[in-house]
Amino acid sequence: MVAEWIFANGKSVGEIREDFPILQTKLTLVDHDDPIDLVYLDTAATAQKPLKVIQAEARYYREQNANIHRALHTLGETATALYEGSRDKVQAFINAEHRHEIIFTRNTTESINLVASSFGRSFGPEDEILLTEMEHHSNLVPWQLLSEQTGCKLKFIPISPGGELELEKLDELLTNKTALVGVVHISNIFGTVNDIEQIISKAHSMDIPVLIDGAQSSPHMAIDVQQLDCDFFAFSSHKLYGPMGIGILYGKEKLLEKMPPYMGGGDMIRSVKLTGSTWNDLPWKFEAGTPNVGGVAGFGAAIDYIKELSFDSICEYENMLTEYARKSLSGIKNIKIYGPSGHRAGVFSFTHNDLHPHDMAQFLDRYGIAVRAGHHCAQPAMRKLKVSSMARASLAFYNTRSEIDFLVEKIIAAGEYFNNGI
Amino acid sequence: MAFDDLYQEIILDHAKHPRNKENLDFISDDEVHENPTCGDSVKLAVDFSQDGKLERVRFDGDGCAISTSSASMMTEIVEGKSKEEVLKMIKSFILIMRNESESSLDDFGDLIALEGVIKYPLRVKCATLPWHALEDLLA
Ligand SMILES: Cc1ncc(COP(=O)(O)O)c(C=O)c1O
């Protein structure tokens, strides 16, 4: 039992919470007179933003707004430096070898679509794409579309009832027809931390490139793309305490170089004639049109914030909290928790024997507790487990043990409420 | 308090003990109505009488207290009514739930208990799911 946890920047959890304006505001519920405290347990859907991020984005619009890469005036230079400066921060954040391997998109979904449309353009009916049964729809549907267009086939690494990949099937699923492997790093339903190192090394031994969906891992662990040796890594700013509308695609230079542009327009060209054009260098080849510069500036501030806290202390605190939550939640009667019982991320999907996840979420909302309920954009995995809907509580470093105690208390109360008097 | 308006006794009762809920596995999964945002689903089977009235409506599916109780009460209220009458009711119910109508659920028997849902726009779809399913089946 720790008296008080102190992060690497010398702050306690209480002080960290003060960095997040939304955690200081009160919620006004429908027909509920007194505003109440927010207990935010939906970080896997989107993370809350520290003040520094909000200020960086606001400052851009107040003091630095200009279009980038084309203006020769001072503001234009400032905006360009800010935008490209954030690219350097992202490069360092995931330890990419080159800054031009970082491409700004709108979100993880767009990053994956970029790879599917561009890298996948040369695929044909003889090619296979190996995915897993636990992918988020955003790492499934783009490949289904590609399969319709090119005739390539989709194969899947199965999941066990415990929400883990059956990697013993990997050898037989990887064939000389496999053109790409796409796998989620941390599952947004089960909290499973997949053994992507093993998948990458097996795939590479057969010269097959691997795409990692890092939407859920990038906020909770240090990512080193060179050490992982993955070929593509996709993630979203909004899940990493940054603004919405910014996504990142990391790709290895040698692959990105060969890939055709994804969208056509301004900024992505070198020279345009009516009959054809030549492409700009990386990364701009993949960044057509005016980007969300304010959002990118905000994301730069989010990276600075995370670095100050340090992943060492984030992970240590979050692991402690996750273990506490796992123990507390599994002690509740009539609750089933999905996902691995051992090492896992702070994402807990659960169902209650006596009430539907929606009703659970609605009941918890009455007390200001924000959890998600539904199919979590992973319907194939849900179908496999024969559940149509789950409630999900997900954690971040700004959550506390007392919030988890409160959650447990209200889950129990929900069961009683729905059983009483009937 | 709004929350107790949302989950009135009668709703909880229909949710726990749904009327006319049966296993309808004989209906193919293609005919399931799903709420794409949450994964709730409902299937319906309608038996018509000789004179074309809805004799019996059964449902099956997986839903929250709001959608289950709405389906349960719907199967009761439409019994014995003509197709035209029911289609009119469906239109009216959906508009009322979406708060796009001057009318109230006064003429809808026990379903009046669902009026509390109107204040929770995200849950309106739960209440209307079975009604959309019936509309499609009758249309
Ligand atoms: C594992 C995973 N992949 C991809 C996504 C999609 O992220 P975005 O909506 O930011 O594109 C999510 C978001 O929920 C996710 O959890």
Domain ranges of chain A: 2-46+310-419, 53-307
Tokens of A160: 């066990």
Helices marked H in A310-354 — which ranges? 311-330
Tokens of A84: 């490209």
CA dihedral B1, B2, B3, B5 (to 10 degrees): 100
Mutation target to probe the B interface, by most B beta carbons within 10 A, among A141, A377, A387, A389 is A389
Ligand 1 centre distance from Cα of residue A106 (Å)? 12
C-alpha span between A293 and A82 (Å, rounded)? 8
pLDDT band at A266 (very low <50, low <70, confident <90, very high): confident
| Range of weakest confidence among A99-108, A231-240, A349-358 | A349-358
Whether residue A188 has its Cβ less than 6 Å from ligand 1 = yes
Ligand 1 centre distance from Cα of residue A233 (Å)? 13
Tokens of A67: 């279009």
Domain around B81: 2-138
Q: Tell whether ipTM is more than 0.90.
A: no
Query: Would you say domain A2-46+310-419 falls under CATH 3.90.1150.10?
Result: yes
Which residues touch A280 (CB under 8 Å, ≥6 apart)? A267, A268, A269, A270
Contact by Cβ (8 Å): A102, A250:
yes
C-alpha span between A321 and A270 (Å, rounded)? 51
Confidence (pLDDT) at A30: 79
C-alpha span between A253 and A151 (Å, rounded)? 27
pLDDT band at A1 (very low <50, low <70, confident <90, very high): very low
Residue B11: which CATH number? 3.90.1010.10
What's the CA angle centered on A95, arms A69 and A187, to 5 degrees? Answer: 105
Confidence (pLDDT) at A377: 85
Burial (CB < 10 A; 0-12, 13-18, 19+), residue A140, is: buried
Contact by Cβ (8 Å): A382, B39:
yes
Confidence (pLDDT) at A3: 61
pLDDT band at B31 (very low <50, low <70, confident <90, very high): confident
Higher pLDDT, A1 or A9: A9
Whether residue A194 has its Cβ less than 6 Å from ligand 1 = no
pLDDT band at B1 (very low <50, low <70, confident <90, very high): low
pLDDT 10s digits, A32-77: 778 999 999 999 999 999 999 999 999 999 999 999 987 789 999 9
Which residues touch A70 (CB under 8 Å, ≥6 apart)? A76, A266, A267
Residue A422 has pLDDT above 60, yes or no: no
The H helix count followed by the E strand count for chain B is: 5, 3
**SS3 label, residue A207:** coil
Contact by Cβ (8 Å): A325, A395:
yes
Which residue has tokens 């200009």?
A66
CB-based contact (8 Å) between A388 and chain B?
Answer: yes
Contact B38 A29 (CB under 8 A): no
pLDDT band at A267 (very low <50, low <70, confident <90, very high): confident
Sign of CA dihedral A258, A264, A265, A271: positive
- CA distances (Å), A145 to each of A93, A111, A138, A183, A264, in order? 32, 15, 11, 17, 20
Q: Residue-wise over B7-29: b if at least 16 C-beta within 10 A, else e?
A: bbeebbbbbbebbbbeebeeeee
Which residues touch B62 (CB under 8 Å, ≥6 apart)? A388, A389, B39, B40, B41
**Rounded mean pLDDT of B16-28?**
92
Confidence (pLDDT) at B34: 82
Which one of A152, A230, A315, A377 is the catalytic residue?
A: A377
pLDDT 10s digits, A178-235: 999 999 999 999 999 999 999 999 999 999 999 999 999 999 999 999 999 999 999 9
Task: Please count the structural domains in chain B.
Answer: 1
pTM of the model: 0.93
Q: Which amino acid is at A146?
A: L
Q: Which amino acid is at A170?
A: L
- CA distances (Å), B106 to each of A126, B28, B80, B103, B114, in order? 62, 36, 19, 8, 11
**SS3 label, residue A178:** strand
CATH class, domain A53-307, is alpha beta
Residue A315 a catalytic site member = no
Contact A418 B12 (CB under 8 A): yes
pLDDT band at B2 (very low <50, low <70, confident <90, very high): low
pLDDT 10s digits, B81-135: 999 999 999 999 999 999 999 999 999 999 999 999 998 888 999 999 999 999 9
Ligand 1 centre distance from Cα of residue A109 (Å)? 7
Burial (CB < 10 A; 0-12, 13-18, 19+), residue A346, is: buried
In the DSSP assignment, the letter for residue A62 is I
Sign of CA dihedral A36, A41, A45, A46: positive
Q: Which amino acid is at A364?
A: L
Max CA separation in chain A (angstroms) = 76
Max CA separation in chain B (angstroms) = 47
Contact by Cβ (8 Å): A90, A102:
yes
Whether residue A218 has its Cβ less than 6 Å from ligand 1 = no
Distance from CA of B70 to the nearest CA of A (A): 14
Question: Rounded to 5 degrees, what are φ and ψ at A27?
Answer: -95, 135
The rounded mean pLDDT for chain A is 95
Which residue has tokens 């499973």?
A192
Tokens of A362: 């609605």
With a pLDDT cut of 90, the percent of chain A lying above it is 86
Confidence (pLDDT) at A53: 98
Residue A421 has pLDDT above 50, yes or no: no
**Rounded mean pLDDT of A67-94?**
94
C-alpha span between A176 and A205 (Å, rounded)? 11
